[in-house]
Structures are given as structure tokens and as C-alpha cells.
């Protein structure tokens, strides 16, 4: 059984394809362009491997990653020359070339629009799972039933539980979502030594499902609240998201990769375990941030917010620092551009 399972699940992963451009995003207001790839890639600041054309003319740009580290990553940014964004022109076409032009994608920015994008479908491209033929689906369905029968006989067989979860992911992650969560709970009970790893794997699968649901709904709003998340991943797929709800989870920090969310305007992260925002790069579009009922004890833990260019509202109610005498004045000095700070 496990031999055929290995063949069905793992064989399609052999020979990983070359990186492709998943999304190109242009923002007129901050004169920037973002490129999201299917795999992490390395790009030198003045690279000739990643080239931008504006209205068929090559543009001289310098590349950087959203977190500023310029290490191989899913997303690369550049500032566009002012001349490439003429408000009087009816439209501008931006074309990005990678790998000597073998990979390219373009988007059109029309007059009066603040941004534009061209993004691949995660559903059509089977980003989170391999496309299965009818024959393979039938085999995997049979394997799933066999594993369930075995698990009924051996309820604490952790390998059987994990195999059931992976088979459900391969067959249909959304149809099996609730059942998968039940098997995760059983697996954590059977294998408590790996609970941290399993929590992160569970978080990964739930975020993948949310990306799929967002695309089906044609929405730029993602609700990840009350899901027991312990980590955040796949943020390169959330480039276009404007509203993100992370409330009531188990998050202790924000990853630097959150900076890939270039369009994020409102973020709610209430009722988590956040102690500090240290290391979080600026989010260029973030206007409202709610961090109610977290574990922030000092104003200095919020210092990074001083360089968030659009942030005007911050909710800190329910954090330990709210009990500090003079905290409102201290925060006003630390974050002079944030006009509303609730404590």
C-alpha cells in the first residue's frame, strides 16, 4: 500500500520545474513594481537576469527583497523611474522578463488607476497540489479508505494518521478540510513530541485553503481568525490582499516575509501572543493595525512602526504596556505620524 502511495504522491514532485513569474504588480502612488515567483530566486541589485520594460523601453532599476536582506526569495521589488509613470498618458504597459526572456509577464496601468497586476491562478496552476488523473485519483481514494480501516484498528498509529491527512490534501483540500483537522487533533495526541511541527504543518495547510477560498470568491480580504495558527507562510500569494484578520490565534511574532503583502491596508491581530514587532519591515500600504490583547510590555517593542509610511491608527488595548504611566505620551513621541493610538 505505502509503495503505491509513494509513487502517486511523490513521483510528480521529481524534476521540480524552473521558476516562473506568478504575479507582476505596479503601484503608481509609490512608483514601485513587485515580481512574485513560483520558487525563491536570487537576483543581484543591478541584475540583467530580471529585466523591466516600460512601454517597450528597458528601464534601469535596482532590485531588492521586501525584507531588505536581498537573499533568494519569492518576491523582488524595484522603484520605477518617474518618467515611466506619466499621469497624462492613457496607459502604461510594463513587461518583466526572466531567464533570458523565456519567462515573462506584463500588466497595463490605465490613466486614473492607482495600481495594476497580472497574477496566475493558484487553482489552475495546481500550486498546492499535483494535478491528478482519474486513475490516480481512484488509486488515492482507495488508499485513503484502506488507511481509514487500518486507523480504526490502530487509532494511535501516527504514520497512518499522517498518511490519511496527506491523502486528503492530495485529493481535495477544501472538501476534506474539517475531517483533516480532526485527524490532526488525533495525530497530535498520538505524537505529542512533534506537536510544534504538526501545529506549523496544520497552519500551512489552513493558509493554503484560505488562499484557494480567496481566489474562488474573487476577494482581496482574507480571514484567518480563530484557526489556531502558530506560523504564517505562503505570504507571496497574498500580495494583493488589502484586509487580513489574524485574530484569536497562537502567533507569537510576525515573520519578516509579511512585508510581501504590499497592498495590505488593514490588519487585525487581536488575541494572539505577540510580544514585539522587532524585525518587521515596513508595510507600505498599512493604514490600520489592531493588536488588542497581546503581550506587548514596552513601547520600544513597537519602534519599527515609526517607519510605516501610511499607518494612522493603532489599537493596543489590553496589552501590559497600557498600564505604564505616561504611555500615551511615550507612544505619541515614538510614533508621531500615527494619529490615533488606543490604549
- Asked if residues 247 and 224 have their Cβ atoms less than 8 Å apart, the reply is no
Query: 167-181: per-residue pLDDT in tens?
Result: 999 888 999 999 999
Q: Could you tell me if residue 68 is inside a domain?
A: yes
- Select, from the ranges 48-52, 102-106, 299-303, the one with the highest average predicted confidence (pLDDT): 299-303
Are 39 and 71 within one domain? yes
Are 234 and 320 within one domain? yes
Query: 12-36: per-residue pLDDT in tens?
Result: 444 457 889 999 999 999 999 999 9
In this prediction, residue 48 has a pLDDT band, given cuts at 50, 70 and 90, of confident
Q: Could you tell me if residue 213 is inside a domain?
A: no
Are 171 and 88 within one domain? no
Q: Could you tell me if residue 170 is inside a domain?
A: yes
Are 329 and 237 within one domain? yes
Expressed as residue numbers, the domain containing 156 is 127-197
Q: Could you tell me if residue 8 is inside a domain?
A: no
Are 51 and 112 within one domain? yes
In this prediction, residue 152 has a pLDDT band, given cuts at 50, 70 and 90, of confident
Assign residue 267 the CATH number of its domain: 3.80.10.10
- What number is the average pLDDT over the span 80-93? 91
- Cell triple for residue 7? 509513487
Q: Could you tell me if residue 16 is inside a domain?
A: no
Strand order across the beta sheet in which 50-54 lies: 57-58, 50-54, 91-98, 103-110
- Asked if residues 229 and 200 have their Cβ atoms less than 8 Å apart, the reply is no
Are 176 and 229 within one domain? no
- Give the position of cell 515596513: 282
Q: Could you tell me if residue 65 is inside a domain?
A: yes
- What number is the average pLDDT over the span 74-89? 92
Q: Of 57, 87, 119, which one is at a domain's C-terminal end?
A: 119
Total domains in the fold of the chain: 3
Q: In 3D, which of 292, 272, 123 has the Cα closest to residue 209? A: 123
Q: In 3D, which of 241, 297, 304 has the Cα closest to residue 274? A: 297
What's the Cα-to-Cα distance from 178 to each of 128, 148, 157, 191, 195, rounded to whole Å?
Answer: 18, 16, 20, 20, 19
Are 85 and 144 within one domain? no
Are 151 and 240 within one domain? no
Chain centre to alpha carbon of residue 2: 32
Assign residue 34 the CATH number of its domain: 2.60.40.1130
| More confident site: 215 or 239 | 239
pLDDT surpassing 80 at residue 1? no
pLDDT surpassing 70 at residue 192? yes
Are 87 and 135 within one domain? no
Query: 218-230: per-residue pLDDT in tens?
Result: 889 999 999 999 9
Are 324 and 225 within one domain? yes
What's the Cα-to-Cα distance from 86 to each of 83, 95, 109, 341, rounded to whole Å?
Answer: 6, 17, 10, 37
- High-pLDDT (> 70) share of the chain, %: 92
SS (H, E, C) the chain: CHHHHHHHHHHHHCCCCCCCEEEEEEECCCCEEEEEEEEEECCCCCCCCEEEEECCEECCCCCECCCCCCCCEEEEEEECCHHHCCCCCCEEEEEEEECCCCEEEEEEEECCCCEEEEECCCCCCCCCCCCCCHHHHHHHHHHHHHHHHHHHHCCCCHHHHHHHHHHHHHHCCCCCHHHHHHHHHHHHHHCHHHHHHHHHHHHHHHHHHHHHHHHHCCCCEEECCCCCCCCCCCHHHHCCCCEEECCCCCCCCCCHHHHHCCCCCEEECCCCCCCCCCCCCCCCCCCEEECCCCCCCCHHHHHHHHHCCCCCEEECCCCHHHHCCCHHHHHHHHCCCCCEEEC
- Cell triple for residue 241? 490582499
Q: Could you tell me if residue 13 is inside a domain?
A: no
Q: Could you tell me if residue 148 is inside a domain?
A: yes
Quote the pLDDT of residue 7: 41
**CA-based Rg of the chain, rounded to a whole angstrom?**
23
Q: How far apart are CA 223 and CA 208, in angstroms?
A: 12
Query: 126-149: per-residue pLDDT in tens?
Result: 667 665 666 778 888 888 888 888
Q: How far apart are CA 25 and CA 46, in angstroms?
A: 19
Amino acid at each position: 500500500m505505502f509503495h503505491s502511495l509513494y509513487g502517486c504522491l511523490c513521483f510528480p514532485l521529481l524534476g521540480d520545474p524552473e521558476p516562473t513569474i506568478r504575479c507582476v504588480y505596479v503601484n503608481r502612488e509609490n512608483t514601485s513594481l513587485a515580481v512574485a515567483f513560483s520558487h525563491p530566486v536570487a537576483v543581484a541589485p543591478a541584475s540583467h537576469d530580471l529585466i523591466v520594460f516600460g512601454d517597450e523601453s528597458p528601464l534601469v532599476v535596482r532590485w531588492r527583497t521586501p525584507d531588505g536582506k536581498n537573499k533568494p526569495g519569492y518576491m523582488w521589488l524595484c522603484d520605477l523611474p518617474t518618467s515611466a509613470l506619466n499621469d497624462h498618458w492613457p496607459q502604461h504597459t510594463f513587461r518583466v522578463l526572466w531567464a533570458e526572456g523565456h519567462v515573462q509577464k506584463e500588466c497595463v496601468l490605465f490613466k486614473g488607476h492607482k495600481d495594476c497586476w497580472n497574477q496566475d491562478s493558484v487553482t489552475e496552476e495546481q500550486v498546492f497540489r499535483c494535478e491528478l488523473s482519474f486513475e490516480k485519483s481512484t488509486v488515492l481514494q482507495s488508499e485513503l479508505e484502506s488507511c481509514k480501516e487500518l486507523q480504526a484498528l490502530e487509532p494511535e498509529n501516527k504514520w497512518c494518521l499522517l498518511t490519511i491527512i496527506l491523502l486528503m490534501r492530495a485529493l481535495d483540500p477544501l472538501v476534506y478540510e474539517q475531517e483533516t483537522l480532526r485527524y490532526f487533533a488525533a495525530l497530535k495526541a498520538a505524537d505529542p513530541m512533534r506537536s510544534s511541527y504538526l501545529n506549523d504543518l496544520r497552519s500551512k495547510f489552513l493558509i493554503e485553503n484560505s488562499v484557494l477560498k480567496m481566489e474562488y470568491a474573487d476577494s482581496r480580504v482574507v480571514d484567518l481568525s480563530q484557526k489556531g495558527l502558530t506560523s504564517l507562510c505562503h505570504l507571496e500569494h497574498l500580495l494583493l490582499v488589502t484586509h487580513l484578520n489574524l485574530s484569536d490565534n497562537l502567533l507569537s511574532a510576525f515573520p519578516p516575509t509579511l512585508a510581501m503583502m504590499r497592498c495590505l491596508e488593514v490588519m487585525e491581530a487581536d488575541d494572539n501572543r505577540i510580544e514585539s514587532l522587532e524585525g518587521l519591515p515596513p508595510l507600505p500600504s498599512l493604514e490600520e493595525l489592531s493588536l488588542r490583547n497581546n503581550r506587548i510590555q514596552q513601547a520600544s517593542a513597537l519602534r519599527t512602526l515609526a517607519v510605516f509610511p501610511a499607518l494612522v491608527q493603532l489599537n493596543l488595548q489590553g496589552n501590559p504596556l497600557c498600564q505604564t504611566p505616561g504611555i500615551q505620551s511615550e507612544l505619541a513621541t515614538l510614533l508621531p505620524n500615527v494619529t490615533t493610538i488606543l490604549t
